Amino acid sequence: MYACLYRPAAEDAANRLLELALHFSPAVERTSSDTVVFSIVSLRKLMGSPHQIASEICRLGYEQKLEANLAIASNPDTAILLARNCAGVILVTPGEENFKLASLPLACLFAVQTNVSLDLLETLQRWGLKTCGDLAALPEQGIAERLGATGIYLRNLACGKINRALRIPPPKTSYEERMELEHPIALLEPLLFLFSRILNELCGRLRAQSQGACALEARLELEEQKKYRCELEFPVPLTESAAMLKLLQLHLERHAPEAPILAFTLRLKTTEPRRVQHGFFLPPAPPADKLELTLARIEGMVGKQNVGAPVLLNTHRPDAFQIAPFHVPDMEMVQKSLHTETPADQQVLRLAIRLFRPALYANVKVAGTAPQGVSAPGVQGNVIRSAGPWKTSGEWWASTSWIREEWDVALDDGALYRIYQESPSREWYVYGIYD
């Protein structure tokens, strides 16, 4: 049995109705801002018959000075229809739904089910139907032939035959856990043991709610009232605690807290999980979560600024590039771009240059303007042939300005170098090797 409370045209109706309903059942459906439905099955042993339950609801409503319609029926939709269309208290015994609903106007069915088109109401009215009883009297097969599944649904609604579960919103899940420690922890390993337990629990909640984590925030409370906070952002939503724990471990190894830990809080930021259907004919790519761990490990060794994808800058400045964070590209997009872009001529081997970073300071013997001999750390020899000077300059308006004369020089050590003389300092540098 279900009870429905309806209180039209009141600003605070929703909250007050919900408050009243929650006195009787924790399972309450908020059908709309002015209607709530709840189950009263479990109240029979406590309060007695539906009449006694109805009188108890009325008594509490009177005490709270809440004026509302109350309907009790065997299914939620019948209770809603009656509460919304009949003033006062209505009690329907099972089997009488059809009779009680018969006098209600046909339009009230469309108020309950909002996704049914109003054109259907017009059609039914053109057929001469005015009340729910008229619709319920029509043969089911005829309705199905003419109006399909929607028509059958409306007829069953008019008969009071629709049994459904209450639509109860799931309770809001918290993805934050705090733990206070009995003794301060100074070592990482026992702390990770505790992190692992908490992360397992949080990831269990994530999976139960079909969610993924896009970031992990760790707040540590240290001795001497110190605080430590770190936030790890994941490039792809993660659901496995092992990957998160490893990333957190690598971060804490690189940036260790400065005092023993008294308490900690872990919080996951949730997002939709990654649902990827890989193509049969797409090339393989590193799994994003595994790659993230690998990159974190490499960054721990060589530094974050030394790992990434090179991006050329839009300037003529020599060796102008920046390192961008590396993410696995979308393989479908890559395949599409491969078809649209014109590839470089692959039949010809292009001569590449490898650089000395920073450029090697060199002592250069000059005859006239051309270099005759080069001496720098690891580079020594007489110039056999040279080409140059190639004068370049730019960005005179910025601190990155350069003016230099470049030479390609073949030395008698067998290698071919690019060297340059900077202006105005007139100092020579070895820029790189043609290789």
The site for other proteins (CB under 8 A) is made up of 282-287, 290-291, 293-295, 297-298, 301-302, 306-312, 319, 321, 323, 326, 328-329, 331, 334-335, 338, 343-344, 346-357, 370, 378, 385-387, 408, 410, 413-416, 432-435
CA angle, 187 then 191 then 192, to 5°: 115
> Whose Cβ is closer to other proteins: residue 179's or residue 285's?
285
Task: Kindly state the tokens that stand for 406.
Answer: 């470049």
Shortest reach from residue 381's CB to other proteins, in Å: 11
> Whose Cβ is closer to other proteins: residue 223's or residue 319's?
319
- Between β-strands 402-411 and 379-394, what pairing exists: parallel, antiparallel or unpaired? antiparallel
Name the helix (H) or strand (E) containing 407: strand 402-411
**Ramachandran bin of 325, using left for φ above 0, alpha for ψ from -120 to 50, beta for the remaining angles:** beta
> Whose Cβ is closer to other proteins: residue 221's or residue 289's?
289
**Prior bond of 171 cis (ω within 30°):** no
Check residue 131 and report its DSSP letter: B
Task: Kindly state the tokens that stand for 35.
Answer: 């209607």
Whether residue 273 contacts residue 236, with contact meaning beta carbons closer than 8 Å, is answered with no
In angstroms, rounded to a whole number, what is the distance separating the alpha carbons of residues 428 and 392?
15
**Ramachandran bin of 131, using left for φ above 0, alpha for ψ from -120 to 50, beta for the remaining angles:** beta
Residue from 106, 29, 34 nearest 69 by CA = 34
DSSP-assigned states of every residue in 382-399: EEEEEEEEEEEEE-TTST
> Whose Cβ is closer to other proteins: residue 149's or residue 344's?
344
Residue from 255, 194, 260 nearest 225 by CA = 260
Shortest reach from residue 169's CB to other proteins, in Å: 41
Burial of 228 per CB tally in 10 Å (0-12, 13-18, 19+): middle
Shortest reach from residue 272's CB to other proteins, in Å: 23
Shortest reach from residue 164's CB to other proteins, in Å: 47
Check residue 11 and report its DSSP letter: T
> Whose Cβ is closer to other proteins: residue 281's or residue 396's?
281
In angstroms, rounded to a whole number, what is the distance separating the alpha carbons of residues 194 and 182?
13
Shortest reach from residue 362's CB to other proteins, in Å: 15
Shortest reach from residue 416's CB to other proteins, in Å: 5
Shortest reach from residue 309's CB to other proteins, in Å: 6
Shortest reach from residue 422's CB to other proteins, in Å: 19
CB atoms inside a 10 Å sphere around CB 202: 23
Whether residue 3 contacts residue 70, with contact meaning beta carbons closer than 8 Å, is answered with yes
> Whose Cβ is closer to other proteins: residue 99's or residue 321's?
321
> Whose Cβ is closer to other proteins: residue 139's or residue 378's?
378
> Whose Cβ is closer to other proteins: residue 129's or residue 419's?
419
Shortest reach from residue 371's CB to other proteins, in Å: 12
Check residue 235 and report its DSSP letter: E
Shortest reach from residue 211's CB to other proteins, in Å: 26
- Between β-strands 370-376 and 379-394, what pairing exists: parallel, antiparallel or unpaired? antiparallel
| E-state strands within 40-95 | 69-73, 89-91
Task: Kindly state the tokens that stand for 150.
Answer: 């929607």
